[in-house]
């Protein structure tokens, strides 16, 4: 498996890269930009590359007309070292993290898992506004990137709104998010929205790239992409952690249940003994794909969905949709039902077996 560092923009991001670097070159990039796309589609790497281009003192045109930063100037050197003085990152933090970093803003790029409970606080936004008010050291303006910007709490969002209403000419703000609908409408209306969500052409490019990166077959890649909800970097993480085997084993269990080779109560007991969420998200994505294939002639990819399709061949529409609803409800109830998750799973797997 390859572990070479990724170079952004990634193949499926070329169209948006051309569009946004074109706006930078014409000095028409809006002062506030929302960049959205599902978790694992490559948003933070894309924004880092775009900021590098925006701040570069001598941007260039490489082969095939692709705009790139020069890689030589002071700005590019600061970017590469992760300590550009005209750029800050703000992301959800806990109190302990704030104390460790002696503030809310990160200089340079920090790639880490974000606790889903964390928010972006008003103090962080105030620090960011102060930062944007200082003059730019390298004369290319100042940039702030808010990662997981849907986690701005109410006060933080309102503080940010003031900055968006009276933008400084030399400051650019990127709000990166996988859930743009969770941003306040007043914030959304003051930003230009660009999406990195993959269309079918981009997905085909991503699949080819994943095969190259992981050495996996087209079939295995198709299954990994399906279970990563079409997010290529998430799919790559599955392939590199050899989760393809885990995914196959998971589907084998589902098939064995259908064929009554396994007892649903025993599987429910096993899954709840292991703790954690028993990949119900995978189950849901698989059901979504087989539902599309069955009822809307959706494209068949990979080898997992054809196996499930065969197993569900005789199931009529009404019980089929009844089951998908039950699955959805199980996923919704999962976080609150710590005490009787086994019961929840028993009910789900019994319905699956007798569907």
Pick between residue 51 and residue 231 the one whose CB is nearest to Zn ion. Answer: 51
- State which of residues 24, 50, 54, 56 lies at the interface with Zn ion (CB under 5 A): 56
CB of 1 or CB of 61, closer to Zn ion: 61
Q: Which one of the spans 73-81, 230-238, 254-262, 263-271 is the region binding Zn ion (CB under 5 A)?
A: 73-81
Nearer to Zn ion, 23 or 269 (CB): 23
Q: Which is nearer to Zn ion, 76 or 176 (CB)?
A: 76
State whether the Cα torsion 24-28-33-39 is positive or negative: negative
Per rule CB under 5 A, is residue 69 in the interface with Zn ion?
A: yes
- Please list the residues that pair with 93 across neighbouring strands: 119
Q: Which of 76, 156, 221, 301 binds Zn ion (CB under 5 A)?
A: 76
Piece of the chain touching Zn ion by CB under 5 A; list 70-78, 147-155, 176-184, 193-201: 70-78
Q: Please provide the size of the chain in residues.
A: 355
Among the listed residues 266, 211, 287, the one whose alpha carbon sits nearest the alpha carbon of residue 244: 211
Structural contact between residues 258 and 311, judged by C-beta atoms closer than 8 angstroms: yes
One residue of 14, 18, 23, 70 binding Zn ion per CB under 5 A: 70
Helix (H, G, I), strand (E, B) or coil at 194: strand
> What distance in Å separates the CA atoms of residue 144 and residue 157, rounded to the nearest whole number?
15
Backbone angles phi, psi at 89, to 5 degrees: -115, 135
Q: What's the closest the beta carbon of residue 86 comes to Zn ion, in angstroms?
A: 13
Q: Which is nearer to Zn ion, 74 or 97 (CB)?
A: 74
Size of the site for Zn ion (CB under 5 A): 5
**What is residue 307's DSSP assignment?**
H
**CB of residue 24 vs Zn ion: minimum separation in angstroms?**
13
CB of 76 to Zn ion, least distance (A): 3
Sign of torsion over alpha carbons 12, 218, 111, 37: positive
342-to-232, 282, 285, 346 alpha-carbon distances in Å? 33, 18, 22, 6
Q: Which residues would be at the binding site for Zn ion (CB under 5 A)?
A: 56, 69-70, 73, 76
């Amino acid at each position: 498996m390859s572990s070479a560092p990724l170079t952004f923009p990634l193949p499926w991001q070329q169209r948006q890269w051309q569009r946004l670097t074109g706006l930078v070159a014409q000095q028409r990039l809006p002062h506030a930009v929302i960049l959205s796309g599902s978790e694992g589609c490559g948003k933070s790497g894309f924004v880092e590359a775009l900021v590098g281009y925006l701040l570069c003192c001598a941007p260039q045109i490489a082969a095939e007309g692709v705009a790139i930063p020069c890689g030589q100037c002071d700005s590019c050197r600061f970017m590469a070292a992760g300590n550009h003085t005209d750029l800050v990152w703000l992301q959800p933090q806990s109190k302990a993290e704030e104390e460790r970093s002696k503030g809310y803003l990160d200089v340079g790029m920090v790639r880490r898992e974000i606790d889903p409970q964390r928010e972006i606080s008003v103090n962080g936004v105030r620090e960011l506004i102060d930062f944007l008010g200082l003059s730019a050291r390298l004369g290319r303006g100042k940039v702030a990137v808010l990662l997981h910007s849907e986690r701005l709490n109410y006060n933080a969002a309102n503080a940010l709104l003031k900055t968006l209403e009276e933008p400084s000419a030399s400051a650019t703000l990127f709000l990166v998010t996988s859930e743009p609908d969770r941003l306040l409408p007043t914030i959304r209306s003051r930003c230009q929205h660009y999406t990195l969500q993959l269309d079918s052409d981009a997905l085909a490019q991503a699949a080819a790239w994943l095969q190259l990166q992981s050495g996996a077959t087209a079939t295995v890649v198709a299954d990994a992409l399906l279970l990563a909800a079409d997010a290529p970097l998430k799919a790559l993480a599955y392939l590199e952690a050899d989760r393809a085997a885990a995914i196959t084993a998971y589907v084998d269990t589902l098939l064995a249940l259908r064929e009554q080779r396994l007892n649903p109560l025993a599987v429910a007991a096993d899954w709840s003994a292991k703790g954690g969420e028993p990949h119900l998200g995978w189950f849901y994505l698989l059901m979504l794909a087989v539902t599309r294939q069955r009822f809307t002639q959706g494209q068949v990819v990979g080898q997992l969905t054809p196996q499930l399709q065969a197993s569900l061949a005789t199931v009529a529409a009404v019980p089929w949709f009844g089951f998908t609803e039950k699955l959805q409800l199980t996923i919704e109830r999962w976080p609150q039902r710590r005490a009787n998750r086994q019961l929840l799973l028993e009910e789900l797997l019994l319905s699956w077996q007798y569907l």
